[in-house]
Chains A and B, each alone.
Chain A
Amino acid sequence: MKTFKQIMRRKVAAVCLVVIFLIFTAAIFAPLLAPYSPNEQFKDGLTLQGAPIAPNSQYLLGTDLLGRDLLSRLIYGARTSLVVGILANGVALLLGTTIGLVAGYLRGRLGSLIMRVTDLMMAFPALLLAITLAAIFSPSLLIVALVIAMVNWVQVARVIYTQTIAISEREFVEASRSIGASNRRILVKHILPHLMPTILVWGTLGIATTVLLEATLSFLGIGVRPPTPSWGNIIFENQTYFITAPWLVFIPGLAIITLALCFNLLGDTLRDELDPTQRGRQ
């Protein structure tokens, strides 16, 4: 049974990888794949009463409240969501790893202080903090990504901090010091390689979080602003047609769920493979 589960997990992870790859490809080749321009409002994209049209042969996924093709907006939306998600996650990883590494290696007063600050930041619910920051600063893709990164680095830092401490106490680190290695050398050549599995896992899991956060912020109207499409803001714009044109909400919603699920599964599998001692499932 255990081997069955292992195989299943691997297969599932493989499927996730494929799905993610497809979404990535769609995002990269958006101009080639999208049947129409995402911002073009078609006269025949709305009914006579001005309501969105259901999926048909011309507009495969229907149109939105302004008569724009949903499929095209969805494909370009993948681009936005992924760009913001990856950028935000990248910054969060960089920031979190650096801070956690330094705090964990130097320890002492500086280390505790840094960790107190992270405790403080964890007292705020991520979404509300992101909302506050997003409301304060003027909107733009970059700002949204940075806001998300500001909220997400904390968890990474804490994990890296604990791990760095554990690794620093291992004898080979002391041995490196005894041969005269500088702190920088120890951090980069000895400790960082041991952190790679964790960084990889969090890199994957983190994208799920950042993509979701971006979708949520956009859904609330303070993330990526229209007309630039993002899966979240498509739902936001078309809320009022929720009952009459549910596909406008469901399809982007499904896309978001799929992406988040895939990254989560992938990250979870990675974690089980790379570090079976951590909070795995068995």
Chain B
Amino acid sequence: MLNYVLRRLAQAGLILLGVSFITFALLYVLPADPAVQIAGRSATPETVASIRAQLGLDQPLLAQYWNYLSNLAQGDFGRSYLQKTEVSTLIQSRIGPSLSLMFFAILIELIIGLSAGIYSAMRRGKLSDNVVMVSSFIAISAPQFIISIFVLYIFAVKLGWFPIGGYGRPIHYVLPALTLGILGSGWYSRVMRSSMIDVLRQDYIRTARAKGAPISRIIRVHAFKNAVLPIIAMIGLDIGIFMGGIVVVESVFGWPGIGQLAWQAIQRVDIPIIMAVTLVSAIAIVIGNLIADLIAPFVDPRIRLK
């Protein structure tokens, strides 16, 4: 058991190292010369050279990587070329909104997804089951950013029920979290449904039914905790999916998180910021997967035996 934990931790560490190397490689493989970008168009070659030296760009590649790595470890993501500020400050100020949105989105996904899944499993084969499954399917296939735009238009612009994007009061959370929540619930409802179907087929459920227990109690006490096991692992993966859409979602809803930061940086081709956001997302994904993998054996004893 301890073996498994240690192995997973080491694996995660290695992946993080690899991720940092790839981001470093991309950053320094750029055709655009960062020194020139910072110095501006009218700079003399000497200025460019001195900026180069300042940034440490004239050192051998491995030395640069080492600097990069040690900076990262201290939380230094470099400086934005164009904003003349530390990238880490920018990220720090914006990671809060992103994380809180992710939290609520996943919460809603779970609430909707799990209930839909259970509902569907119990009415298996009937029309309501089909409706739920088709809706889940559409939820999965629909592109997040387009649905977000539609939702914004209908509920904020036309109906005026909600502010058109922005941040600050609880009401600002509603549209983005609900949109993401409903779309993401599709995954959970499908997995929950098949998991629940499998569990309900088990003998111990039949025994409980034969003993006359009401179905709600059966689900609450017996079925749910067994059916929910695969979901736990999914949450970790969900973080990755969330990170994938974060740029567009935040830009559509005007959400001041790291996604919007990246979007602004894209418009201005501010590479260090883009890289930093990518790196942070990758770290979030690795941590999410790690947590999912570490929780799984506790929740499902069968995995422990592996």
Contacts and interface: CB of A to CB of B under 8 A. Distances in A.
Judged by CB atoms under 8 Å, the answer to whether A and B touch is: yes
Interface residues of A, number: 46
Interface in B216-270: 240-241, 243-248, 251, 262-263, 266-267, 269
A261 B138 contact: yes
Interface string B271-299: 10011011001100110010000000000
B266 A124 contact: no
A125 B145 contact: no
Interface string B8-43: 000000110011001000100111100000000000
Nearest to A208: B141
Nearest to A262: B141
Nearest to A212: B143
A124 B143 contact: no
B19 A268 contact: no
A99 B240 CA distance: 24
Given A124-B285, A136-B30, A136-B31, A249 B141 contact: no
B262 A260 contact: no
A175 interface: no
Interface stretch (A17-25, A62-70, A84-92, A127-135): A127-135
B45 interface: no
B130 A5 contact: yes
Interface in A210-254: 212, 215-216, 219-222, 235, 242-243, 246, 249-250, 253
A119 B32 CA distance: 29
A4 to B, nearest CB: 9
B143 A257 contact: yes
Contact of A1 (B125, B278, B285): B125
B211 interface: no
A120 B22 contact: yes
A125 B146 contact: no
A264 interface: yes
A42 B66 CA distance: 57
B140 interface: yes
Contacts of B22: 120, 124
A281 B190 contact: yes
Contacts of B271: 135-136
Given A120-B15, A125-B244, A135 B274 contact: yes
Interface of B: 14-15, 18-19, 22, 26, 29-32, 125-126, 130, 133, 137-138, 140-143, 145-147, 149-150, 153, 157, 190, 194, 240-241, 243-248, 251, 262-263, 266-267, 269, 271, 274-275, 277-278, 281-282, 285-286, 289
18 contacts: A2-B125, A5-B130, A116-B14, A116-B18, A120-B18, A123-B285, A124-B282, A125-B285, A128-B243, A128-B274, A128-B281, A133-B26, A135-B269, A137-B31, A256-B143, A260-B141, A264-B137, A264-B141
- By Cβ-Cβ distance, the 4 closest A-B pairs, closest first, are A125-B244, A264-B141, A253-B146, A125-B243
